[in-house]
Amino acid sequence: MQHKKQFEQPPRRVALFVTCMVDMIYPQVGRAAVQLLEEQGVEVVFPEDQTCCGQPAFNSGYHDEAVPLARHFVDVFHPLIASGQAEAIVLPSGSCATMTSHFHLELLENDPAYLKRSEELAAVTFELTEFLVDVLEARLPEASLPGKVVYHACCHLLRELHIDAQPRSLLAESGLDMVDMAGSDECCGFGGLFAVKNEPISVAMGNAKLTSIEACGADHVVMCDVSCMTHLQGLLQRQDRRCRAMHIAEALASRHPKAKGEFNTPAQSKALDVGDRPRRWQDVGTN
């Protein structure tokens, strides 16, 4: 895994790689992430020409098809870092952070020019909780959610990036009523295309996770990836269970109406080189 840059001073301006599912399905997660960063005095820029990091193609074995997406990521974000318009890249996703900071290097290993720039980006690419804890040493305002909250450790975040203490520490200090869950580090059964190709196994693994959630009496199960959140929330809804799955950014920013989907105004982050054109995900649900 690429070594991360050690900053002499905490970055004051970052670029947000919002990920496909946040962009298209869960804009409230992106807004909550922006809110958390801005509270720490960090300005967030959002380059609109960003697109998929290539993870679905890569995980399906279509490595050649994923290469142009890896190059595009470099083309979009490297100029921002090189010019100082952003000091780091932050993602509200462990799986996409793994793809961009690790597997892009594998895809580009035979392209020296792109590989060098990709390595430079990998050194300043951070999953959201990793950035808040390891880089900013953030102390967040107290959060507020009704009922008990439990944490589910997503596989890419835990096993590829080795990030676990960071989200747990943020939740422990959040003021939320946290409870422990047996097997909190066990896979929920999503696994990207695994859930499509092996649906019965995926559902069985998800149901086992629901049993653990129910056993600890949680009203909310919190995680760092919206893909796992989608899988678990689908099972919860279809089985009419009371627990709700949510992203950790929403949970940590839950004192804000914006983090609950009740958005009246867009966050005060900046899009790049798009004039006054609205930002897609930031304008969902606004007038």
Q: What is the CATH number of the domain that holds 193?
A: 3.40.50
Mean pLDDT over 58-73 rounds to: 96
Question: pLDDT averaged over the chain?
Answer: 88
Is residue 6 included in any domain, yes or no?
A: no
**pLDDT of 270 higher than 60:** no
Quick: pLDDT tens for 239-250.
999 999 999 999
Is residue 2 included in any domain, yes or no?
A: no
| Total tally of structural domains belonging to the chain | 2
What share of the chain has pLDDT > 70, as a percent? 88
Residues 156 and 246 reside in one and the same domain: yes
Residues 83 and 34 reside in one and the same domain: yes
Residues 243 and 268 reside in one and the same domain: no
pLDDT for the residue numbered 257: 55
170: Cβ–Cβ under 8 A, 6 or more apart, which residues? 129, 132, 133, 138, 140, 248, 252
Is residue 116 included in any domain, yes or no?
A: yes
Query: What pairs with residue 43 in β-bridges?
Result: 13
Predicted TM-score (pTM) of this structure:
0.87
Residues 269 and 183 reside in one and the same domain: no
Residues 89 and 53 reside in one and the same domain: yes
The pair of three-digit structure tokens given for residue 134, joined into one six-digit string: 């390891």
pLDDT for the residue numbered 1: 52
**pLDDT of 274 higher than 90:** no
> In terms of C-beta density within 10 A (0-12 exposed, 13-18 middle, 19 or more buried), how is residue 209 classed?
buried
The pair of three-digit structure tokens given for residue 284, joined into one six-digit string: 């969902």
Query: What pairs with residue 221 in β-bridges?
Result: 150, 245
Quick: pLDDT tens for 170-216.
999 999 999 999 988 888 877 777 777 878 888 898 888 999 999 99
pLDDT for the residue numbered 258: 52
Is residue 4 included in any domain, yes or no?
A: no
Q: Is residue 284 very low, low, confident or very high in pLDDT (cuts 50, 70, 90)?
A: very low
Strand, helix or coil at 246?
strand
Residues 106 and 174 reside in one and the same domain: no
pLDDT for the residue numbered 165: 97
| Structural domain boundaries, residue 266 | 13-136+261-283
Instruction: Return the closest-CA partner of residue 14 out of 37, 32, 36.
Output: 37
Is residue 225 included in any domain, yes or no?
A: yes
Q: Is residue 151 very low, low, confident or very high in pLDDT (cuts 50, 70, 90)?
A: very high
